[in-house]
Chains A and B, each alone.
Chain A
């Protein structure tokens, strides 16, 4: 469902040109759980941005669910982000002024399918076990709870793919465990495709497939045995 062919991304930083991705070929099937690893500057964030339709490749082609993303304008990209992609961020990226419920409702404000907003947001929060924290502001929640609000927000539009960029980077080990368990459960039980960027070998070990990156290239792509 995700197919990248010869994807290159070059950033113009004034006089210097930085090649963040250098001819990446990658394909991820529906229902896979993939970990992307690599040191800082290896290009994994750029890969995530392109997969998440936040950015378009300089050259090469990327198709998501059979649609050519490279040829899309800003509005189409916004639409695809809204309908097909759920983002989970390292820093949660919740809006501090809004309650957990309102934060989860946010993607439902945009694009099509705005009916039963409140109800759908409530259900998404219940799915991540925060049914009793709906009226709380992010500052009134623990880090782990905030990240679960983030996951509920990513899920509320029933996306085809969940992209998690270092989802446990700011969490203690117990909360990290909870979040990873939740992502794995979503993948195994609900069949959601999950791509998670991580530094942590423990997390990578629990996924089906580990992709390692260096200098904008994929250096290894290993499918592991499913572990429980």
Chain B
């Protein structure tokens, strides 16, 4: 039989049992719709996690001092004061022509913050003007730390949104004076809320010029009298230059630190973190898909069941067709095409239902959970392929049973 005849023949015999065919298709529809909507919910969750990470900037490298040791006992990473402000400036100066866009050194400290009768204990971060751009942050009001503030060791502060709220409530903090460890600082600006961030960390902090923090607040000093930093964030010009930048920074620092053996710094890649996380969430999405896949499997068994019934019912038809010269292959193809037709129609309708469901629940809050869905073509292709494969897999056994019928037995069947 040619493909057109086969298709028409499959269509007629399925149409003859509309309700039965419809219910069988429904099984596949539910399966495919479940796969698509669950996977797009999974992808949505994945996207929002990635987005949070990316809000920090994906083209960031973090350079941190290596571990220090005392008598063979190693302290944690960053415990040595091997990185200096000069290192940061050297990275910015010598690599700005190749891979580096901006460099933001940081010095961590903390202190008791007092304004009037309010007080709080929080992290005080010594930064340079580049920090704002490199960390992808925005100012809510006021201005940010300038180069002048850094060179002049000015006692100015920029507040995180949470810190500002806890000290000033709804009042405007700009121009007010706060005390950090009993030193007076003038508030010059407030950061925008970063929202997410791990534990709202970026909202509860105070930024001050790195020099001010070093000389006025921090306790540690380098042996050479240089300004030590806790970490240097390097913004790379393009994501594709990450590896190059990493290599160049490492070479530069080894030269500057006159290293021959082990590095006294480490470079962490934001992209690596992201990739690890994406691998994890990928597994999660596949897991959701697999759960939904079970219902698709059940739908496939429905197809097999109905095809077996159909083969038995149409034993006589098989006998007649064989007497008229149908080969085993003709019969096999006829029944296979019916099964595949059911599964593909089910797949198609399932895709429509699945897409509709994922559109409907996008950005909706159900059970205190806001769903975000990300829908993409590959899910559709996957779902259609899987449903066609299910038609093939569950259709082959009934079709083989049909094809194997002996013409005489089939003709005699009542």
Q: What is the CA–CA distance of A59 and B12 in the complex, to the nearest angstrom? A: 42
Residue in contact with B324 in the complex, picked from A49, A75, A110, A114, CB distance below 8 Å: A110
- B324 near A81 with CB under 8 A, answer yes
Contact B2–A114 (Cβ < 8 Å): yes
- B294: CB under 8 A from chain A? no
Nearest CB to that of B316 among chain A residues?
A93
B16 cross-chain contacts in A, Cβ below 8 A? 97
For A98, list chain B residues within 8 Å (CB).
12
Known A93-B411, A97-B13, A97-B16: A87·B323 in contact at CB below 8 Å? yes
Please give the distance in Å from B115's CB to the nearest CB on chain A. Answer: 88
CB of B327 within 8 A of CB of A78, answer yes
* Pairwise interchain contact B317-A110, C-beta atoms closer than 8 A: no
> Least Cβ distance of B329 to chain A in Å?
8
A157 to B323, CA, bound (A): 13
- Decide yes or no whether B408 CB sits under 8 A from chain A: yes
Instruction: Tell me which residues from 65 to 113 in chain B have a Cβ below 8 Å from any Cβ of chain A.
Output: none
Interchain CB contact under 8 A, A83 and B324: no
Q: A93-B316, A93-B411, A97-B16 are in contact. Are A81 and B325 (CB under 8 A)?
A: yes
Say which residue of B2, B324, B327, B408 sits within 8 Å of A55 (CB atoms). B408
Contact pick for A111, options B9, B13, B316, B325, CB 8 Å: B325
Q: In the complex, what distance in Å separates the CA atom of A98 from the CA atom of B325?
A: 18
- The CA-CA distance from A95 to B314 in the complex, in Å, is 10
Q: A78-B326, A81-B325, A82-B325 are in contact. Are A95 and B2 (CB under 8 A)?
A: no
Contact with B along A83-114 (1 / 0, CB 8 A): 10001010001110110000000110111001
Inter-chain contact B5/A109, CB cutoff 8 Å? yes
Alpha-carbon distance between A97 and B321 when the two chains are bound, in angstroms: 14
Is B323 within 8 A of A81, CB to CB? yes
When distances are taken between beta carbons in the complex, the residues of chain B under 8 Å from A74 are 327-328
A82→B320 CA distance, assembly (Å): 12
A79 to B328, CA, bound (A): 11
Interface string of B256-285 (1 = CB under 8 A from A): 000000000000000000000000000000
Interface string of A157-170 (1 = CB under 8 A from B): 10000000000000
For A54, the chain B residues whose CB sits under 8 A away are 322-323, 407-408, 411
A52, A94, A110, A114: most-surrounded residue (chain B CB, <10 A): A110
The residue in chain A whose Cβ has the minimal distance to the Cβ of B16 is: A97
Query: Using Cβ atoms and an 8 Å threshold, which residues of chain A touch B291?
Result: none
Pick the contact of B12 from A52, A83, A97 — CB < 8 Å?
Answer: A97
Besides the known contacts A93-B323, A94-B320, A107-B324, 12 further A-B residue pairs in the complex with CB atoms under 8 A apart: A55-B408, A78-B322, A78-B325, A78-B327, A79-B325, A81-B324, A93-B319, A106-B324, A109-B9, A110-B1, A110-B330, A114-B2
- Provide 12 A-B residue pairs closer than 8 Å at the C-beta atoms, listed in order of the A residue: A54-B408, A75-B328, A78-B327, A81-B325, A93-B320, A94-B320, A97-B16, A106-B320, A107-B325, A109-B326, A110-B321, A153-B324
**Top 5 A-B residue pairs of the complex, sorted by shortest distance between their CB atoms:** A82-B325, A110-B325, A107-B324, A78-B327, A81-B325
Residues of B with Cβ closer than 8 Å to A? 1-2, 5, 9, 12-13, 16, 316-317, 319-330, 407-408, 411
